[in-house]
Amino acid sequence: MTEPHFFTPAKALTLREIIALTGAVARASEAGGSLDRQITGIAALDQAGPHDLAFIDNTHYVAQLAETRAGACLTSTRFEKQIPATIVALRVGAPYRAFVEVARLLFPEALRPASSFAANGVAAGASVHPQARLEHGVTIDPGAVVGPRAEIGGGTVIGPGAVIGPDVRVGRNCSIGANTTIHHAILGDRIIIHPGSHIGQDGFGYVMGAAGHLKIPQVGRVIIQNDVEIGAGSAIDRGANRDTVIGEGTKIDNLVQVGHNVSIGRHCVIVGQSGISGSVTLEDYVVLGGRVGVNNHVTIGEGAQIGATSSVNGDVPAGGKWGGTPAKPYKQWFREVLAIERLAARGAPDANAGRKGDLDE
């Protein structure tokens, strides 16, 4: 059985081209320092070979510098002198960002999922309703379903087993992953939805009572603006009496729950296993760490950051950095944690103090 390589470089880059792309400054090395050397791959320091580009921006990996065989290494001033003379050191202000810029140019196919079936157009086995409208260049894999009056823009790829419901709009150059379902939704351009995500299903809404729980009709939509990416296994409910909105450029990790009527602003980052309850507003550039829970009707202001595993029960001001359960400003949270640790370190009173005679009996 052969061992496949799933991504091959689109082109080779010389070190000179990498310098032009990133603005890096080369340090002359004792051997192999030609700026015409070609780079065809990227790798971690301990796995890199002579034609790979690596980077260093963390003291945790300094020990690997002595043994690396990388063709070149992006670095900051802090680590430049620790890179062996046999390695071309490329000094740049933000090594990891520069590394990503090069990686994007070498491996553009890794940026957006392609057809799982290497299909071109509508594959045999796909079910496209005759009333659906597809622009030129749409790719639909086997087993996918496109409902009546759905519209899909050119360059979009619909993965196997995906369902695009009636009247759904999907823009241009999108990637809809395998077994994803999209209903009651309007999607912009260049959106990536990874496999197993579900968009536009009922929100969780009931009027509870002794005689039973009365289901609330959910008649809103999901609006997803341009350049949004949604991770595998995430769920975004449609609105109840207004639209659920995901703003331009927002990035949502795997296994995230977004409830009905939620409004998420532009360029937010929501990390895995977070849950956002109904009617929450996240303004632009908000960051939620992993496993954050947000209670309903909460507003988190522009640029605010919420620490991982926090529980947000009230509004967070713009620019706030909050954490804990319930979430509060970081400084207050840290003071309280420290006070509890100090109290524990002193030792709790012995519950059995003064009862020695009883125990002896």
Q: What is the 3-state secondary structure (H, E, C) of the chain?
A: CCCCCCCCCCCCEEHHHHHHHHCCEEECCCCCCCCCCEECEECCCCCCCCCEEEEECCHHHHHHHHCCCCCEEEECHHHHCCCCCCCEEEECCCHHHHHHHHHHHHCHHHHCCCCCCCCCCECCCCEECCCCEECCCCEECCCCEECCCCEECCCCEECCCCEECCCCEECCCCEECCCCEECCEEECCCCEECCCCEECCCCCCEECCCCCCEECCCCCCEEECCCCEECCCCEECCCCCCCEEECCCCEECCCCEECCCCEECCCCEECCCCEECCCCEECCCCEECCCCEECCCCEECCCCEECCCCEECCCECCCCEEECCCCEEHHHHHHHHHHHHHHHHHCCCCCCCCCHHHHHC
- Catalytic entry in 5, 260, 267, 297: 260
Is 260 in the active site? Answer: yes
Q: Which residues are catalytic?
A: 260
